[in-house]
Amino acid sequence: MRPRHPFVAAVLATALSLAVLPSLAKSPTAVAANPAAEAAAPPVPLLWQVSDDDNTVYLLGSFHMLKSSDYPLSDDIQAAFDDAERVVFEVPPDQVNDPANTTKFLQAAGFADGRKLSQVLAPETYDKLSTMMAAAGQPVAAVERFEPWFVNLSLVMGMAQPLGFSGAHGLDNHLMQLAGKAGKPASGLESLDHQLSVLDGAPMDEQVLGLSELVEDPAAAARELDKLHQSWRQGDLEALRRYAIEQMKEKTPETYRLVNIERNQAWLPQLREMLDGEGEDDVLVVVGAMHLAGDDGLIEGLREAGYRIERICSACSAD
């Protein structure tokens, strides 16, 4: 079933693809098990084992903002974490937790040419944005100097928090803290500055489309965020591909190329180096779930390169 507002799903899919977004709204604290959620089954992990003759890379698809009720995690994830000698994230933990991030984010978000938000949005869209922000107790003038991508993602994050989502509960953040406590080396596939450049590089017309659709029906965005989250919880990579990636490719092809294709192509050589390198180190690689799915995904890219790939999913075996 296609979403009622297809581009909203594409916008929300960015939360599965860019680890830096929720870093502005989280504290560096690992999530403890939630007693109220102990009876619920853990999320079905999007976890694959990629191997050659001597090395293993565990690929784990993350949702960068989660709820406390998404914990505890599957034993499969814990076993992969325990087996790995090191953990690799999209962005190195020290950069994700840098206090200067907010300043960097705001600098990247401003119009470089001095334009204003009201000059790139249709008047009716700007009026709806003003009404939406006023309902949240914020004047629209507060975002006048920022590009649509930043306003869009700020609204999504603000919408997600009352629903129980938090970057502090995100899978990346949780595993970063576990790695620190366990003394496991942790690194990143790219820099925080690069992620910001990806966001800032999206075409203006695609940025405007995303913000326009979000303010047209904020309630639809909340419903579709829940659908994406449920697909992740169920370990349904095909649903994520069908529901989010295909919409993003159709509606905002250049943003999809920047956010997904180009970054995957930059990461694949790094993953191959982990597998082909000397020694027998096993590595846990944690990336947004969207990076694993579809013909452009990391799983297919590694399969085409000839590596052995097997999904690790005890819950799937029990079905």
Residue 287 DSSP code: E
Number of neighbouring beta carbons within 10 Å of residue 305: 16
Neighbours of 136 (CB within 10 A): 9
168: helix, coil or strand? helix
State how far the Cα of 152 lies from the Cα of 158, in Å rounded to an integer.
10
Specify the pLDDT at position 116: 97
Which residues lie below 8 Å from residue 223, measured CB to CB, with a gap of 6+? none
The CA distance from 161 to 167, in Å, is 9
Give the torsion sign (CA, 284, 286, 287, 289). Answer: positive
- Closest Cα partner for 260 from 287, 224, 232, 286? 287
Structure pTM?
A: 0.90
Bridge-partner residues for 283, per DSSP? 57, 86
The ranges of the chain with pLDDT < 70 are 1-39, 317-319
CA dihedral for 68, 72, 76, 82, sign (positive or negative): positive
pLDDT one-digit tens code per residue, 218-277: 888 888 889 899 999 999 999 999 888 888 888 889 999 999 999 999 999 999 999 998
Question: How high does pLDDT run on average in the chain?
Answer: 87
Structure tokens, 148:
């649509």
pLDDT score of 25: 46
DSSP conformation class of 207: H
Q: What residue segments make up the domains of the chain, in order of their start?
A: 6-318
